[in-house]
Amino acid sequence: PAARKYTGMVEDCCCDYETVDAINEEVLHPILQELVKLPFFRYFKVKLWCDCPFWPDDGMCKLRDCSVCECPENEFPEPFRKPYNGLSPDSMMCQEGKPQAAVDKTLDSKVFKGWVETDNPWTSDDETDNNEMTYVNLQLNPERYTGYTGDSARRIWDAIYKENCPKYPSEELCHEKKALYKLISGLHSSISVHIAYDYLLDESTNSWGQNLPLLYDRVLKYPERVQNLYFTYLFVLRAVTKAANYLEQAEYNTGNPEDDLKTESLVKQLLYNSKLRSACPLPFDEAKLWQGENGPELKQEIQKQFRNISAIMDCVGCEKCRLWGKLQVHGLGTALKILFSVDGDSHMNQPLQLQRNEVIALFNLLNRLSESVKFVHEKGSSIEEVIEEQ
Ligand code: FAD
Highest mean pLDDT among 66-70, 291-295, 307-311, 326-330: 326-330
Residue 168, pLDDT score: 54
The best mutation among 54, 58, 157, 220 to test binding of ligand 1, ranked by most ligand atoms within 8 Å of the C-beta, falls on 157
> Span 348-367, mean pLDDT?
88
pLDDT at 378 over 90: yes
- Give residue 293's pLDDT band: very low, low, confident or very high (50, 70, 90): confident
Ligand 1 pocket check: which of 321, 322, 329, 371 to mutate, most ligand atoms within 8 Å of Cβ? 321
Alpha carbon separation from 386 to 187, 212, 381 (Å, rounded): 26, 11, 9
**Residue 169 amino acid letter:** P
pLDDT band at 54 (very low <50, low <70, confident <90, very high): confident
Question: Is the pLDDT at 236 greater than 70, yes or no?
Answer: yes
Atom of ligand 1 nearest to the CA of 217: 51
pLDDT at residue 105 is higher than 50? no
Task: Choose the residue to mutate in 52, 191, 364 for probing ligand 1, maximizing ligand atoms within 8 Å of C-beta.
Answer: 191
Residue 130 has pLDDT above 70, yes or no: no
pLDDT at 24: 98
Confidence of residue 52 (pLDDT cuts 50, 70, 90): confident
pLDDT-derived band at 224 (thresholds 50, 70, 90) equals very high
Rounded to the nearest whole angstrom, what is the distance from the C-alpha of residue 6 to the centroid of ligand 1? 23
End-to-end distance of the chain based on CA atoms, in angstroms? 19
Answer yes or no: is pLDDT of 129 > 80. Answer: no
Residues with CB under 6 A from ligand 1: 143, 145-146, 148-149, 153-154, 156-157, 185, 188-189, 191-192, 195, 218, 225, 316, 320-321, 324-325
φ, ψ for residue 342, nearest 5 deg: -70, 130
pLDDT, mean of residues 76-90 = 57
Look at residue 71 and tell me whether its pLDDT is greater than 80.
no
Overall average pLDDT of the 50-72 stretch: 60
Tell me which residue has its CA closest to atom 45 in ligand 1.
153
Which ipTM value was assigned to this complex? 0.99
Q: What is the mean pLDDT of the chain?
A: 82
* Cα dihedral 219, 223, 227, 233 in deg (nearest 10): 20
Which range of 4-8, 146-150, 246-250, 300-304 scores highest in mean pLDDT? It is: 246-250
Range with the poorest average pLDDT among 12-16, 27-31, 245-249, 328-332: 12-16
CA 46 to ligand 1 centroid distance, Å:
22
pTM for this structure? 0.87
Once rounded to an integer, what is the mean pLDDT over residues 65-94?
55
pLDDT in the model for residue 61:
43
Ligand 1 centroid, distance to 321 Cα (angstroms): 10
| Ligand 1 midpoint to CA 154 (Å) | 7
pLDDT in tens, 138-170: 888 889 998 888 888 899 999 998 766 555 555
Average pLDDT of the residues in 231-255: 95
Between the CA of 334 and the centroid of ligand 1 the distance, in Å, is 22
Specify the residue with its C-alpha closest to ligand 1, atom 19: 185
Residue 67 reports pLDDT greater than 90:
no
How far does residue 359's CA lie from ligand 1's centre (Å)?
25
CA of 157 to the centre of ligand 1 (A): 7
Centre of ligand 1 to C-alpha 362, Å, is 21
Does residue 361 register a pLDDT over 80?
yes
Model confidence over 244-272: pLDDT tens digits? 999 999 999 998 999 999 999 999 999 99
Find the mean pLDDT for residues 378-383.
80
When pLDDT is cut at 50, 70 and 90, the band that residue 69 belongs to is low
Region of poorest pLDDT, from 164-168, 183-187, 235-239, 317-321: 164-168
For the chain, percent of residues with pLDDT exceeding 90 = 49
The pLDDT-based confidence of 55 (bands split at 50, 70, 90) is confident
Residues 6 or more apart whose CB falls under 8 angstroms from that of 82 comprise none
